[in-house]
Amino acid sequence: MDMHTYDSYKDSGIDWLGEIPSHWEVKRIKYLFKEINERSLGGNEDLLSVSQYTGVTRKSDKLQEGDLLTNASTLEGYKVVRKRQLVSNIMLAWNGSLAFSEFDGITSPAYCIYKLTSDDNYKYFHYLFKTDLYKSEFKRNSSGVIESRLRLYTEDFFRIWAILPLLHEQEAIARFLDDKCAKIDELVAIKEQQIDKLKELRQVKIYQAVTKGLNPNAEMKDSGIDWIGEIPTHWEVKRLKNVLANKLKYGANESGYEYDEHLPRYIRITDFGYDGKLNEEKKLSLPFEIAKDYLLKDGDILFARSGATVGKAYQFKSSMSTEKFYCYAGYLIKAEPDTQIILSDFLNYYTQSGAFNNWKNSIFNKATIENIGADKYAELKVPIPPLHEQEAIVAYLDEATNKIDQAIAQREAQIEKLKAYKQSLINEVVTGKVKVC
């Protein structure tokens, strides 16, 4: 890239800005923008929202994601937004939730709308306000006692200093960043597509192994279960309740105590994701006198029974644990595999298969609320190979999924590097550390 430093620099006079190119200015935002308070009369306008991740988007564009489109005619009094106006969610502006709109529309009365009053290039400010430098300053100027209550009000926003290159430089910076960021975003999108395909491959391999086995020439029979399909003739299909050492058991109905490494760690539904890994943040504990009836043993599997992540599963393994004792919360259900019938590792892989996902979806299609209780989990049909085949399947999947997981992790690391480079590039260019024109 053809980038150089400017000929000379000067002290901006603003501590947090530091040095800027000698011919650049700094001005308070109030001299560059004005607040707009135009209100909707309830016409047929697009409803807009703003996010730190996606910028300003139209609600109608999210219909495919399952969102509900609010009828704009019922939104009289909402704020009108014009193209190239700045939309700020004052509650999250400190975290980057402000952006210029590429659409006409309306948005929440709680948002602030601003318009450039000069001939300056809005795209330059689009990049300037996305820098870590400015997000930190937005946070510092926000009002509130705790982070979740911070508000960046107009008078505080207007008080912040903006770096101001010459107009032709603003335009050059915007063109340069549009081009470079688009190329970086394209690379990120390619990596994300690769990850999606790897995840699909992972699930296909698991599904094939846990429902068809490893012998492609095995004689097959109809399992009688739509989401399982054919299985080898010598396999069985059993209900989950019939392959467990004990009945399915709900966890403790407790809020949890402040984390204490000497007490059992309290696993909640939010402590693990679909990747089967425990979150090490915001840990809680339970006293032994409460936890003693809910302690986990090696190989126990926990199922989420309600909420946004209903149906996800977590396999407890003491070898992967940092604490000595673990217990679990009431929105989780414990399954203790009978290892004379089914290996914990085999059952764990089954919960990662498309067959298990299809079963979950069949439950949801019959219910108005996404909830899978112990009664439903008990009836889950599971294909059961002989134990020696289960061992072979687990060994095969350990190797296969490990390779795929490594490939996914590699691409995720590449994405993080690309995103970090993009952020660094924006920071360097809009603050004048490097010259692009």
Question: pLDDT tens digits, residue range 274-305?
Answer: 777 788 888 999 999 999 999 999 999 999 88
pLDDT at residue 249 in the model: 96
Q: Are 385 and 235 in contact (CB under 8 A)?
A: yes
pLDDT at residue 67 in the model: 44
In the chain, which stretches have pLDDT less than 50? 63-72
Residue (of 88, 164, 83) closest to 128 by Cα position:
164
The domain segmentation of the chain, as residue ranges, is: 26-164, 214-384
* Side-chain half-sphere exposure of 230, counting CA atoms within 13 A: 7
CATH number 3.50.50.60 given to 26-164: no
Q: Are 244 and 336 in contact (CB under 8 A)?
A: yes
Helices and strands, number each (H, E), in the chain: 9, 24
Bin 434: left if φ > 0, else alpha if -120 < ψ < 50, else beta.
Answer: beta
Helix (H, G, I), strand (E, B) or coil at 358: helix
How far is residue 317's CA from residue 64's CA, in Å, rounded to a whole number? 39
Question: Strands 326-328 and 265-267: what pairing?
Answer: parallel
pLDDT at residue 186 in the model: 97
pLDDT at residue 308 in the model: 61
Bin 391: left if φ > 0, else alpha if -120 < ψ < 50, else beta.
Answer: alpha
Structure tokens at 340: 């004379």
Question: pLDDT tens digits, residue range 384-404?
Answer: 999 999 999 999 999 999 999
Q: Give the Cβ contact number of residue 409 at 10 Å.
A: 11
> Which stretches of 305-386 are DSSP H helices?
344-350, 354-364, 374-378
Axis-axis angle for helices 132-140, 387-430 (nearest 10): 80
Same fold, 26-164 and 214-384: yes
Q: Which fold has domain 214-384?
A: Adenine-n6-DNA-methyltransferase TaqI; Chain A, domain 2 (3.90.220)
Bin 42: left if φ > 0, else alpha if -120 < ψ < 50, else beta.
Answer: left
pLDDT at residue 62 in the model: 55
